[in-house]
Structure 1
Amino acid sequence: MYIHLLGLLLAGGLAFFYLLRALISPLRSVPGPLLARFTDSWYLWRITKGKFEFDNIELHRKHGPVIRYGPNRFSFDDPQASKIIYGHGTHLKKSAWYETWNFPKPTDQWNLFEERNQKRHALLRKPFSNTYSTTSLVSFEPYIDECTDLFVQRLRESAGKGVALDFGHWLQCYAFDVIGNITFARRFGFLDHGDDIGGVISALETSASYSAKVGVYPQFHGFLFKLAGLLAGEDGSGFKFVNKFANDTIKEYRDSRKAAFTSYHVFAGCAQNVGAGSDTTAISLSATFYHLLKNPQCFHKLREEIDDGIKQGTVSQKPTFKETQSMPYLQAVIKEALRLHPATGFPLEREVPEGGATISGRFFPAGTIVGINAWVEHRNKQVWGEDADQFRPERWLIDDADKLSLMNRHWIPFGMGSRVCIGKNISLLEMQKLVPLIVREFDLDLAGGRAWTWTTINHWFVKPKGFKVLVNQRNDKAEG
């Protein structure tokens, strides 16, 4: 009886606390779901449903440019907000949500993605910057070409057989082998048979789902991380395969040259390449092909640009990075695909510093969590026009310099400011080299027909499920 009474008192006390917090909050007038006024459980519930990018868009269309998705979490759909929150020189650091993407504190291990301290992040990022720079891209091309050749071979083996390929899966196999080749100078081997080697793909999905959900309540990360490890068992994580692959490669090269990095610098760089570089690139490639197949006039317009380039001698049979820079429609297609389907689907949360911040005409006190979801930013009609929900690469091919500048400032599939994705250039390099080759070589059709719409699941990365494509060899290729 006393235990029952104690439980009731505790529940009543919590309910009173949540109610009082909502009533006295200086931000109580900000609209949003009723439950989100009192608890973050609404956000956790919507994350679990796996469609938060659409929830976020609909909330803004219903309530306006500033909405809440938790008692202390606020999302923005205002072109003026991004510079304040993410611009260079901002004092807003990443929220505690990101801490669950690393081992629980205290830990001597770090990664660039989860590091919240801005000065420490700048120091940690500096040794890697040259490797990921645009000038370094040319040195990566042979590694990409090797994987591209194998990917094309796999498509040729399936061409004309009437069997639909899980294109999203094969593009992830491609992205994994490319990033393995760039990082370790040898492929993982995903493209050899299309298998999930070592359970790595599954492990990445499980890890992202864990971090995305537990990040809502990061104070429980230490306990839940240990529990998840116990449930997984010794062989429960595909990361063991990647870790062993990385460590074996590091040992091979450790004594062969003077090391500018510590062993952990090398390991951390490898881990961030594999963990982030594979998913983001695979999703972005899938989005590009999906929208091209949903809009066949765009597919054929891109093919014409490739064919014309080959006939004129400006584009090779296997396009180089330099050649792709002179293909405006290709660049427009990729930018438009990443606009409509950025790889990540949550607000990029930041914490308001001491002194507070005024955003979208409203003052937010220190400790408030604010953020912008790229899916929301990329559909703002003030920036993109009334057809913001449509795939239209031509919007990037206009002569209006001011309009192009506006769109480029609000095109954030890789984030923005000092925390922009460090692997952005590598991901774009892979896309710019693979897309024109596949469009030139193959006739592709959605297995479900042009009217079919794919299913995605959002656990931070917005991944397609069941992206089935029919592949046929093209017979009327232009010859150089």
Structure 2
Amino acid sequence: MALGGLLEATQTQYLPLVFTSCFLVWYFHLLIHSLSSPLRSVSGPPLARFSRVWYFRQVWTGRFPWTNIELHRKHEGPVVRIAPNEYSVDDPSAVKTLYGHGTAFTKGPWYDGSTNLKDEKSNLFANRDIKTHAAERRKVASLYSMSTLVKMEDAVNDCIVRLEQRMRDLARSGKPINLQWWMQCYAFDVIGSITVSKRFGFLDSGKDPMDLVSGLHDFLTHAARIGVYPDLHPILFKLGKLAGKFQSAGTNGIIRAFIFTRKQIGEYKAMNKFLKSKADDEEAFLPRLLRLHHEKPESVTEEDVMRTCAINVVAGSDTTSISLTGVMWALLRNPKAMAKLRAEVDDKYSSGEIGDPISFGDAQKMPYLQAVIKEGLRLHPAGGLPLSRIVPKGGATIAGHFFPEGNIVGINAWVAHRNADVFGHDADEFRPERWLVNGADTQRMDRYWLTFGHGSRTCLGKNIALMEISKLIPQLIRKFDIELADPQMKLETENVWFVKQTNVIVEIKERALSPNFSGS
């Protein structure tokens, strides 16, 4: 007993010394690495030189896009440090290097936070392997082509008509409304309709019938935060219940999307609906995917069908509603631009050049509308974190700095889109006219417009989002007078990978249109 007590006392006495020694070894390792690194001159928050805690805290608070912009302006350079081996880049010449076709830069480990470790394959968003991503993308790329999407336009029209009815009801009530919520209702029902031929039902009641919104928000929150410490993702996944809300809530939204999708797959398969002629009016993703599965079951598995439909719902609902709200917010804060767009819409409608609802093709021919959309998406891109990439073997020179292999670099669209050298001295301002000047300036801006990513990783759903936005904005502008409930309101957002607006409260009235001008 005496010997045991002595050993216990000795262990207790030296335990702090052991921990202190380990900490000092770790600290001096980081210090030596930092001082000897060719990137030691790169500025950034002091803590970010030694720990990922600073980056994690910024992501946790939901303010990272604004912090990222301020970092580059404070340190006045194209490269700033956000973690010990991770850097934010603001340089147009880096776009092709990091994201161009044929690049050797692979996605960074942040994307691991969006993976379901039970799946044998990663979804297209989280797949970090260049070759397997390309192979998986080729299987479904044709489904996202413009020629395919225009066949789904009737489904979008149906949702527009339903939203207009809800807007009329809300206008008659005289109560302020949360515009972002109604944009989300529209986006969810559209993506449900064009993906599985069935709306989720948001526009019927103005409510979330399956609790999808909160579930997906929890998933995105989890993915954004755990992506900063990706090594924790498999640990939390295995801990399951012990991880509590942090993990389980992070998967509930995906689970609900999968359950809904699986039910629709079952209905289609039971009735062999997917084997109908392609000339039928059922042109949603699901029947098309099931036909591919039926024709090439080894290449396109049922899990591929499930995964593609589910990722449509996850990636195509929040992003589109955020983009729509971003464009509308910009117009509401800029009455002159609103009036100019309304004049274009009214003129096109009165001359019979556009219908009701407007077709996507006609909307694309309206220069000011497209300039408004592009400018709105420039100032408020949906994604709010750097698109991280790993420097390949041999290292690379980016923005005048040599990056050894293994370092992580990325461009944040929020930072890029406010680059004054590219977008002008008024880059912080909403000015659609900047996109109406042909020539080198527009080409330069186009190359640094990263709302939907770039290169082989460009968002597959880009055309879906642009169709939804291009068709809805003119309908709202033409048929309703919409104003901010508080003209002095400052935009509030929460960044959980996607930068969602939280306070766009508006007052809405039906616009007085002459009988031969209403289109109703």
* TM-score using structure 1 length: 0.96
| CA–CA separation in structure 2 for the residues paired with 1:11 and 1:367 | 24
Report the CA distance between 1:217 and its aligned residue: 1.2
Q: What corresponds to 1:91 in structure 2?
A: 104
8 Å Cα contact 2:160-2:357 kept in structure 1: no
Q: Which moves more between the two structures, 385-394 or 198-207?
A: 198-207
Q: CA deviation at 1:66?
A: 1.1
Query: Aligned partners of 2:354 and 2:303: how far apart in 1?
Result: 41
The answer to whether 1:51 aligns with 2:63 is yes
Q: How does 1:221-236 map to 2 (within 5 A)?
A: 221-227=233-239, 231-232=244-245
Which of 181, 194, 199 is matched with 1:169 structurally?
181
State the one-letter code of the partner of 1:247.
R
Contact 1:203-1:239 at 8 Å conserved across structures: yes
State the alpha-carbon separation in 1 of the partners of residues 239 and 157 from structure 2: 42
Separation (CA, whole Å) in 2 of partners of 1:86 and 1:238: 30
2:381 to 342, 356, 363: 342
Question: Which has the larger displacement, 191-200 or 283-292?
Answer: 191-200
**Matching of residue 130 in structure 1 with residue 146 in structure 2:** no
- The 3-state SS of whatever aligns with 1:218 is coil
Deviations 1:11-30 (A, max 9, x none): 33322222222222221111
Q: Does 1:158 align with 2:170?
A: yes
Alignment CA distance shift 1:229-1:153 (3 Å): farther
| Superposed displacement of residue 424, structure 1 | 0.3
Q: Secondary structure at the match of 1:136?
A: helix
Q: Which amino acid in the other structure matches residue 188 of structure 1?
A: F
**Which ranges of structure 2 fall in alignment gaps of 5 or more residues?**
1-11, 276-290
Where does 1:407-418 land on structure 2 (aligned, <5 Å)? 407-418=445-456
In the alignment, which residue of structure 2 is the partner of 1:303?
Answer: 342
Of 79, 85, 91, which aligns to 1:72? 85
Q: Could you say which residue in structure 1 is the equivalent of 2:201?
A: 189
C-alpha displacement of 1:340:
0.3
Alignment of 1:59-458 (within 5 A): 59-63=71-75, 64-104=77-117, 107-227=119-239, 231-232=244-245, 237-254=252-269, 255-256=272-273, 257=275, 258=291, 259-260=294-295, 261-398=300-437, 400-449=438-487, 451-458=488-495
Q: Distance in 2 between matches of 1:234 and 1:197?
A: 20
- 1:381-435 per-residue CA deviation (whole Å, 9 max, x = no partner) reads 111010000000011111x321111111111100001000000000000000111
The counterpart of 1:463, out of the listed 500, 504, 515, is 500
Question: 1:173, CA displacement in angstroms?
Answer: 1.2
Q: Does the alignment pair 1:476 with 2:504?
A: no
AA paired with 1:248? K
Please tell me whether the aligned partners of residues 340 and 378 of structure 1 are also in contact (alpha carbons under 8 angstroms). yes
Measure how far apart 1:240 and its partner are: 3.2
Shift of 1:317: 2.4
Residue identity in the other structure for 2:344: E
Change (3 A) 1:277 1:37: same
Compared CA separation, residues 268 and 133, structure 1 to 2 (3 A) = same
Question: Could you tell me which amino acid in structure 2 is paired with residue 67 of structure 1?
Answer: V
> Is 1:18 aligned to 2:30, yes or no?
yes
3-state secondary structure, aligned to 1:69: strand
Kindly state the Cα deviation for residue 8 of structure 1 after the two structures are TM-superposed.
2.4
The Cα of 1:88 is off from its aligned counterpart by 1.3
Whole-angstrom CA distance in 2 between matches of 1:228 and 1:475: 56
Partner of 2:28: helix, strand, or coil? Answer: helix
- The one-character-per-residue Cα deviations of 1:59-91 (angstroms, maximum 9, x if unpaired) are 111211111111111111112111111111111
Shift of 1:276: 0.4
For each residue in 1:237-294, what CA deviation from the matched residue of structure 2 results, as whole angstroms up to 9, or x when unmatched? Answer: 2433322210011122234424243211110111110000001100000001101000
- Conserved 8 A contact 2:144-2:464: yes
Bigger radius of gyration, 1 or 2?
2
Rounded Cα–Cα distance in structure 2 between residues aligned with 1:199 and 1:9: 50
Q: 1:240 is aligned with what amino acid?
A: I
In 2 relative to 1, CA 190–338 (structure 1 residues): closer, same or farther, beyond 3 Å? same
CA distance in 2, matches of 1:248, 1:20: 57
Distance (whole Å) between structure 2 residues aligned to residue 4 and residue 144 of structure 1: 65
SS at match of 1:197: coil
Distance 1:239 1:85, change over 3 A: closer
| 3-state SS, counterpart of residue 402 of structure 2 | strand
Task: Tell me if the contact between 1:132 and 1:423 (Cα under 8 Å) persists in the aligned partners.
Answer: yes
Query: How many residues are paired up?
Result: 477
Q: Alignment RMSD, CA only?
A: 1.7
1:295-353 Cα offsets, whole Å, 9 max, x none, are: 01111111111110011110112100111111111100000000000000111000011
* Aligned counterpart, 1:27: 39
Tell me, in whole angstroms, the C-alpha distance in 1 between the residues paired with 2:241 and 2:345: 49
User: SS at 2:500's partner residue?
Assistant: strand
Indicate if the aligned counterparts of 1:199 and 1:237 stay in contact, CA closer than 8 A: no
Unaligned stretches of 5+ in structure 1? none
Distance 1:382 1:17 in 2: 39
Deviation at 1:10, TM superposition (A): 2.6
Give, in whole Å, the separation in 1 of the partners of 2:317 and 2:513.
33
Q: CA deviation at 1:92?
A: 0.3
Shift of 1:234: 8.2
* TM-score in terms of structure 2 length: 0.89
